[in-house]
Structure 1
Amino acid sequence: MRTSVRQTALWLARGVDSWFGDKPFSDGGSVTEGRLGLSLLHRPDEDSASVRFNARFRLPNLEDKAYVFVGRDNPREVISDQPGAFTRPQRLQPEDRDQTSFFAGVGVLLRESTDLRVGFRGGLKPYVQLRYRQPLMLGNQKLAEFRQTFFWTVDDHLGSTTAVSLERAVHADLAVRWLVSGTVTQASRRLGVSSNLGAYRLFGQQRQLAVELIATAEQHTGVGLTDYGVQARWQQPVYADWLVGEVLVGHFWPRANDSVPRDPGWAAGLSLTLHF
């Protein structure tokens, strides 16, 4: 299956590369960051399943500083450039097929830490992103990263996502990390903030146990936190090092606004990610 997925991605990359010139794809062309993921979620009141696909193409006819990206994912998360920890499957949030769509576009590396992307999502709806990422070493055991993304869509107009992460190695196989992200758009003018504080323990052979405290808040809802909870996750390879499984269990206290009470409940998720 992995071979079939990769061959399909390579076939697509060759076809797209041919649109831009006659240089052969074998002259430096490649498919990187390929992921095909299946996520299953169970909550007391509902079950859901979602499939996500992402890949990045380096095309010789676009020269070294440009690339093409394609996939099927949650367009809200892709366009606002949400950190992976805040995607719906990673927060044990239900996601229907209607909430994912195909997207594609072209990115240009302006500098080592900055790229400009122009893309289209389902229905040929355009969007533009300007992304900046800067990792910072704060010492032998401390690492920080700053991420800033400005984006534009027809519906949102201008928008911005700012994310900061701080990580400290407590031991050779134990680390703690705090990640916070905030997004606001010109159309909504409501700042949404997500926070994740976690401890991560490695057990060798790409096995990891994590315990995370998660909280989200949004302006003009009348409540301090629209959701908060705790979750544990176990991740390990299922086959070789390219098929990775993850089990998640969490308990959450959501409250959309001040007109409804909190609705605490358990949630469980299972995901398989094929890297190609």
Structure 2
Amino acid sequence: MLLGYLASGWAAEASSPAEAEFPILDRSRAMVHDFTEGVARHVDGWFGDKPFEQGGMVSGSIGFKFLGRQHESPDASFRFGAKLDMPNVKEKTYLFFGQENERELLTDQPEPFTRRELLLPEDRREDQTLFAGIGYALRDNIDFRAGLRSGIKPYAQARYRKGWVLGERNRVDFRETLFWNRKDGVGSTTLLSFGHGFSRSLAFRWSLAGTISDETDGLAWSNSMGIFKTFGDQRSLSLEALIGGTTAGSDNVSETGVRTIWRQPVYRDWTLVEVSLGHFWPQGDAKDENRRGWALGVGFEILF
């Protein structure tokens, strides 16, 4: 099945000598997990007396990424997110909170096309926001989310996901998010992805995403096409061609590029490192030889 070909192998454990090298990481991760679980237990207690151990669970991640583009100043970004499943709340209801790029949070931008993965710098004061909200899974492939971001600004999303397995080696995935917020009004983000597995460790994937809203003049779109290779023990390598733009400008294409990403664990199976190298060419109205060049990103992620 294609899911096997595209999987990264999240079950590897580091050797015991490495486990003793960084006790501060173990303590820090435990502190974050215990704090998040404490919040979940406290909030869950508002809704009933059922013990948290009977179905309660918290999960999340903390991520740092350092990046630099040629002709631009180096930059760093921070991401934090947590999901809280609580037994006293209805079975399919959950809470979530964290810190994220505001625009990407509101529009539910697919991860491969975020500024972070495209190695683009962002203003932490203007671009990032704290958020919290509640979600409800109507079915396995439909869920609704409503929340607040910095400044007590509301937003809401309805998400639909569907996948089709075509034979033993092909898979098509579709995701549609309808969203609302005061800045954009009503809008939608669509993601369509096709994957073909050459073997259990080598696959081809093509993805196309587009976002439109009441406040935009056209469709902002992104396209990627690439090869993905896994090596076991959560190690993976990808090489992609990228192109993006908007239908509102005089030229639909604003940038093309190539990107390669290497991922692997560096301490146990919950501390991951990602190294990204890319080269980008602005096009159309954005074409500027001074913005053409290389980009490098180094990211660290701790799962809890």
TM-score tier (shorter)? over 0.9
Q: Residue 240 of structure 2 aligns with which residue? A: 212
Instruction: Check if 1:176 corresponds to 2:204.
Output: yes
Partners of 1:231 and 1:158 lie apart in 2 by 32
Instruction: Check if 1:84 corresponds to 2:111.
Output: yes
- For structure 1, the 5+ residue unaligned runs are none
Change in Cα spacing, 1:8 to 1:184, as seen in structure 2 (3 Å) is: same
Q: CA deviation at 1:258?
A: 2.3
SS of equivalent to 1:140: coil
Partners of 1:223 and 1:101 lie apart in 2 by 31
Q: Residue 8 of structure 2 aligns with which residue? A: none
Stretches (4+) displaced over 4 A: none
Counterpart selection for 1:36 from 37, 57, 62: 62
Q: CA deviation at 1:254?
A: 2.1
Q: Tell me the TM-score normalised to structure 1 length.
A: 0.95
Cα RMSD (Å): 1.4
Counterpart selection for 1:3 from 20, 25, 30: 30
Q: CA deviation at 1:50?
A: 0.9
How many residue pairs match? The answer is: 274
Q: CA deviation at 1:13?
A: 1.4
Q: CA deviation at 1:259?
A: 7.0
Q: Residue 59 of structure 1 aligns with which residue? A: 86
SS of equivalent to 1:77: helix
**Larger RCO: Structure 1 or Structure 2 (Cα < 8 Å, ≥ 6 residues apart)?**
2
Q: Residue 270 of structure 2 aligns with which residue? A: 242
Partners of 1:127 and 1:143 lie apart in 2 by 32
Once the two structures are superposed, residues 12-35 of structure 1 have per-residue CA deviations (whole angstroms, 9 ceiling, x without a partner) of 212222333443323321103x11
Matched residue type, 1:42? G
SS of equivalent to 2:104: helix
Q: Tell me the TM-score normalised to structure 2 length.
A: 0.87
Comparing both structures, which one devotes a greater share of its residues to strand? 1
Q: Is the 8 A contact 1:22 1:61 kept in 2?
A: yes
Q: Is the 8 A contact 1:49 1:96 kept in 2?
A: no
Q: Residue 41 of structure 2 aligns with which residue? A: 14
Q: CA deviation at 1:261?
A: 3.2
Change in Cα spacing, 1:223 to 1:261, as seen in structure 2 (3 Å) is: farther
Change in Cα spacing, 1:229 to 1:260, as seen in structure 2 (3 Å) is: closer
Partners of 1:127 and 1:18 lie apart in 2 by 26
Q: Residue 296 of structure 2 aligns with which residue? A: 268
Q: CA deviation at 1:221?
A: 2.1
Q: Residue 70 of structure 1 aligns with which residue? A: 97
Partners of 1:259 and 1:80 lie apart in 2 by 23
Partners of 1:64 and 1:180 lie apart in 2 by 33
Q: Is the 8 A contact 2:217 2:248 kept in 1?
A: no
- For structure 2, the 5+ residue unaligned runs are 1-27
Change in Cα spacing, 1:230 to 1:59, as seen in structure 2 (3 Å) is: same
Partners of 2:288 and 2:114 lie apart in 1 by 24
Counterpart selection for 2:183 from 155, 169, 176: 155
Change in Cα spacing, 1:205 to 1:151, as seen in structure 2 (3 Å) is: same
SS of equivalent to 2:74: strand
**Which shifted more, 147-156 or 75-84?**
75-84
Q: Is the 8 A contact 2:192 2:208 kept in 1?
A: yes
Partners of 2:87 and 2:96 lie apart in 1 by 14
Partners of 1:216 and 1:17 lie apart in 2 by 43
Q: Residue 123 of structure 1 aligns with which residue? A: 151
Change in Cα spacing, 1:19 to 1:102, as seen in structure 2 (3 Å) is: farther
Once the two structures are superposed, residues 113-161 of structure 1 have per-residue CA deviations (whole angstroms, 9 ceiling, x without a partner) of 1011111111110011000001110110111110000000011110001
